């Protein structure tokens, strides 16, 4: 699967579903292999796992039963306590994808964020990310916090949180967004399982989902071209002059939309706040200006 097979005038909404369908076909024909996965929820808000659960192309049932074996996740796994962490450790002995959700607290050796207790010892997200990150076939940073630090690393950053790339000395696929759209994550996983590494930009983001700016495909682009600008939130017109970060934010939100593909911030009269950008939130403030 190459990004050139996905022209910009095609429906972006269908990419994740197409890739997943093709991957499932390869799995059924034994031309691809279902892979284990570890999803670590680090210093974050759990927004990305909630977004992931709400995926529709395909839904969570197909992902967990046909695409990957999700061996460890704080929210979704049934096993608890030490048995849960033993399952994490067992997964490290095989081939797996590591998904990091949230920034990684590094202050006091990561003690600001404990994900497990094992044999009397607290296991920090820093411990777990380093342990799994060294052995994973692929690493995906899910959401802006894992990708760049995000809100978790915003000033004054008392937990000294860092991105997955800053903690791991290896290639990390970034799927930023606050939260990351389920299609961006599911489509990336499906591509890894069926076709290997997707084409990435210079920042490690899959070009399938992060190749053009919001401004390029914005539903209000016509207003910008005619120099018709909104003066306050709720006005008709391009919202660039009241702080919209669409011109510098590379995602396909205008085409894909959110919450069942029914709406997205600009359509709902809110400027884009650049939540998928490397310097969000500090570098994107103020989110609205007059």
- Supply the mean pLDDT for the chain: 92
* 151 pLDDT more than 90: yes
pLDDT-derived band at 3, boundaries 50, 70, 90: very low
pLDDT-derived band at 215, boundaries 50, 70, 90: very high
pLDDT of res. 175: 98
Residue-wise pLDDT for 270-281, tens only, equals 999 999 999 999
| Topology (CATH) of 3-208 | Rossmann fold (3.40.50)
8 Å CB contact between 102 and 43: yes
* Measured distance CA(149)–CA(43) in Å, rounded: 9
Model confidence, pTM: 0.92
Tokens encoding 232: 């306050």
pLDDT-derived band at 126, boundaries 50, 70, 90: very high
* Measured distance CA(141)–CA(143) in Å, rounded: 6
Chain region(s) in the chain for CATH 3.40.50.700: 3-208
Chain region(s) in the chain for CATH 4.10.480.10: 214-284
pLDDT of res. 12: 45
Angle, vertex CA 64, rays to CA 58 and CA 69, nearest 5? 135
- Closest residue by Cα to residue 229 from 214, 213, 243: 243
pLDDT of res. 270: 93
* 9 pLDDT more than 50: no
Tokens encoding 90: 């067992």
User: Would you say the C-alpha torsion 189, 191, 197, 199 has a positive or negative sign?
Assistant: negative
**Burial category of 11 from C-beta neighbours within 10 Å (exposed 0-12, middle 13-18, buried 19 and up):** exposed
Share of the chain above pLDDT 70, in %: 95
Residue-wise pLDDT for 28-77, tens only, equals 999 999 999 999 999 989 999 999 999 987 889 989 999 999 999 988 98
- Closest residue by Cα to residue 251 from 215, 278, 226: 215
Residue-wise pLDDT for 167-212, tens only, equals 999 999 999 999 999 999 999 999 999 999 999 999 999 999 999 9
Within 10 A of 84 (CB to CB), how many other CB atoms are there? 18
Superfamily of domain 214-284: Cytochrome-c3 hydrogenase, C-terminal domain (4.10.480.10)
């Amino acid at each position: 699967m190459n990004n050139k097979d996905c022209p910009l005038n095609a429906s972006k909404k269908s990419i994740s579903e197409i890739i997943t369908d093709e991957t499932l076909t390869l799995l059924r024909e034994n031309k691809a292999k279902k892979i284990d996965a570890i999803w670590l929820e680090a210093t974050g808000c759990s927004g990305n796992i909630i977004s992931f659960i709400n995926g529709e192309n395909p839904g969570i049932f197909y992902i967990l039963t046909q695409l990957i074996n999700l061996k460890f996740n704080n929210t979704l796994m049934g096993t608890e306590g030490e048995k849960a962490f033993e399952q994490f450790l067992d997964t490290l002995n095989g081939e797996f994808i590591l998904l990091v959700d949230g920034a990684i607290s590094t202050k006091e050796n990561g003690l600001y964020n404990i994900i497990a207790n094992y044999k009397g010892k607290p296991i920090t997200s820093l411990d777990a990310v380093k342990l799994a990150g060294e052995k994973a076939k692929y690493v995906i940073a899910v959401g802006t916090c894992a990708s760049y630090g995000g809100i978790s690393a915003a000033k004054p950053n008392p937990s000294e949180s860092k991105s997955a790339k800053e903690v791991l000395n290896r290639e990390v696929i970034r799927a930023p967004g606050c939260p990351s759209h389920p299609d961006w994550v599911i489509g990336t996983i499906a591509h890894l399982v069926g076709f290997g590494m997707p084409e990435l930009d210079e920042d490690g983001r899959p070009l399938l989902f992060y190749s053009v700016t919001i401004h390029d495909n914005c539903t209000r682009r016509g207003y910008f071209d005619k120099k018709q600008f909104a003066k306050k939130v709720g006005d008709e017109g391009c919202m660039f002059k009241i702080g919209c970060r669409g011109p510098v934010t590379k995602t396909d939100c205008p085409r894909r939309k959110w919450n069942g593909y029914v709406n997205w911030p600009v359509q709902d009269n809110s400027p884009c706040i650049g939540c998928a950008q490397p310097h969000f939130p500090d570098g994107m403030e103020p989110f609205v200006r007059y």
